[in-house]
A = this chain, B = another copy of it.
């Protein structure tokens, strides 16, 4: 909100009221490059998930060979991965919350939770999460603005995640094992170019597909990146760490992350995928003060989500898939139908 009124007229135009002159910093690329309407029409509220067809579903189902199942969500708790000032507080009212009832003496428990439900731990970024401040207002997916009717203090209305959640994600899941590619956990990038080992480029993506012996990335795929960064916060034995060690790990985890650079994101978009994901908090590379590969901060977020409706799943637990070398699988998951929510928690299922 803070910057909104510095100027409400685009770019070069300075605005003045009385003796005061002020300017708002805006980015009118979404308007000039006509990011809206998208290929799915002006009414669309779901994005790239529209690409899923019965053929794509059946083909993905065909990947299930062993009958194995992996759940890809992380544990939700007060010390689960959170960014900035987000938090998770859960209490059990009453313990038991109610009862005993009837001759059976039934008792029951509820849990009361207060949290940024769609933006903590394993989290899905939906249409209402990422936008761009333009001279016309805060631009979101398919040209919706935060000023639009139905968007307000109690929900993002037409940008709500429920519209994506009605469809759900059923796709070929592709695991890109960057740890195998690089020979170890990827570092937080230090340089904003294609040679930094923490940044996965378009070429790296193609190299991994080739090395892992799977079919090229294509329409309707869901692509997940394994960087090893997710092992910082949190590893399997998280509960054994003391407070000081946990605190150090949290700090390191949030200080940046390896991930897709802008060339990889553009490549994935061209291949017409429908979902990105990773074992990191943002999926794309984040260095100190910059994104990966000469990108602006969180440029993949904007270019994939706001521009193209290719949504994003953060803080996944990919460890079982990696251990099983399950590079292709049937991915099945749908966000919660949270009316007006910006995202969703999740525990997706992989079958292979």
Contact = CB atoms under 8 A, between A and B. Distances in A.
Interface of A: 1-10, 15, 17-18, 20, 22, 24-28, 31, 52-58, 61, 64, 66-69, 71, 73-78, 80, 84-87, 89-119, 122, 128-138, 145-149, 151-156, 162, 165-168, 170, 247, 296-299, 301-302, 330, 332-343, 345-349, 351
B105 A338 contact: no
A113 B112 contact: no
A345 B344 CA distance: 11
A345 to B, nearest CB: 5
Contact of A104 (B20, B147, B302): B302
A309 to B, nearest CB: 16
12 contacts: A3-B147, A25-B100, A61-B351, A73-B165, A73-B337, A77-B340, A80-B339, A89-B112, A94-B152, A98-B153, A107-B138, A111-B116
Nearest to A72: B334
Contact of A94 (B22, B56, B95, B117): B95
Contact of A17 (B95, B135, B166, B343): B135
Which one of A7, A114, A299 has the highest number of Cβ atoms from chain B below 10 Å of its Cβ?
A114
Which one of A166, A247, A332, A340 has the highest number of Cβ atoms from chain B below 10 Å of its Cβ?
A332
B100 A3 contact: yes
Contacts of A18: 31
Contacts of A78: 85, 154
Given A22-B136, A106-B131, A114-B89, A334 B351 contact: no
A335 B349 contact: no
- Number of this chain's copies in the assembly equals 4
A90 B161 CA distance: 13
B6 A9 contact: no
B100 A133 contact: yes
A35 to B, nearest CB: 13
A10 to B, nearest CB: 5
Given A76-B337, A77-B155, A104-B296, 20 more contacts: A1-B96, A2-B146, A2-B151, A5-B147, A17-B135, A27-B104, A57-B64, A75-B162, A92-B93, A95-B146, A95-B153, A97-B153, A104-B302, A107-B130, A110-B342, A110-B343, A111-B116, A111-B155, A112-B116, A334-B347
A133 B95 CA distance: 12
Which one of A25, A146, A151, A335 has the highest number of Cβ atoms from chain B below 10 Å of its Cβ?
A146
Contacts of A351: 57, 61, 170, 332
Given A58-B67, A119-B110, A349 B149 contact: no
